[in-house]
Amino acid sequence: MARYVTTDLHGCLRTFQHLLEHELQLQPTDELYLLGDYVNKGPNSRGVLDYLMTLPAQGYQVHCLRGNHDQELLDAALGHRHLTWASAADRGLTLESFGVSRAEDIPDTYLQWLSALPYQLDIPGFTLVHAGFNFQLPPDRMRTDWHTMLNIKQFTVDASRLQGRRLVHGHVPTPTAEVQRRVRVRSSALGLDTGCVYRHNPELAHLAALNLDTFALTLVPNREQPYPIARR
């Protein structure tokens, strides 16, 4: 049995499938944790959701958290027009993958799945969240500040707040070399978003998976067919 965590798939289905099926060779006895942002920016948001939704039915132990892009797509589909989501190009790719022209027309199956995603998870040795926490808030508020947990980009960890658990998150694209360094020194906060979707950026453009028990880091280069995306 192994415990793996990855994050920020952003519609990169081919890369994610290669990671699970060929690199990790995921087994039903393994546990797989995903830290959100399954949709937007990349070429196949719907395909990623379909794949994630079928894995448990095939006997795999998969635990998915909510990311800010998942929330933005859900908000758009629910008609919250005062909230913006993605760029025009991103919206086009995402809607095309669902075969619709408006977010409101995304099938309910996907919306129900997205709306059920939790924001955080504590497991032995680790606290998992999409973006992080505001450690300046009182402890009870810190763990219920949903907006921050989906969107914060900078924070300083207060280890006493996590009862000895290490924090693992995504959200901020980080050069693969820096992620490798942080894993090597076993930082108190490990950001695993290596910017897979940014296929033009040689410092990013990888999907990272961390074995939570051995701290082995697996990096898979973006394997998608060409798609339009802004450089980062």
Q: What is the pTM of this model?
A: 0.97
The answer to whether 143 touches 50, Cβ cutoff 8 Å, is: no
Question: Which pLDDT belongs to residue 230?
Answer: 74
Token readout for 24 is 């990790």
Dist CA 110 CA 77 (whole Å): 10
CATH superfamily ID and name for 3-115+172-221: Metallo-dependent phosphatases (3.60.21.10)
Query: For 138-193, what is each residue's pLDDT tens digit?
Result: 998 999 999 999 999 999 999 899 999 999 999 999 999 999 999 999 999 999 99
Mean pLDDT of the chain: 96
DSSP 8-class letter at 79: T
Q: How many CA atoms lie within 13 A of 190 on its CB side?
A: 32
16-41 confidence digits (pLDDT tens): 999 999 999 999 999 999 999 999 99
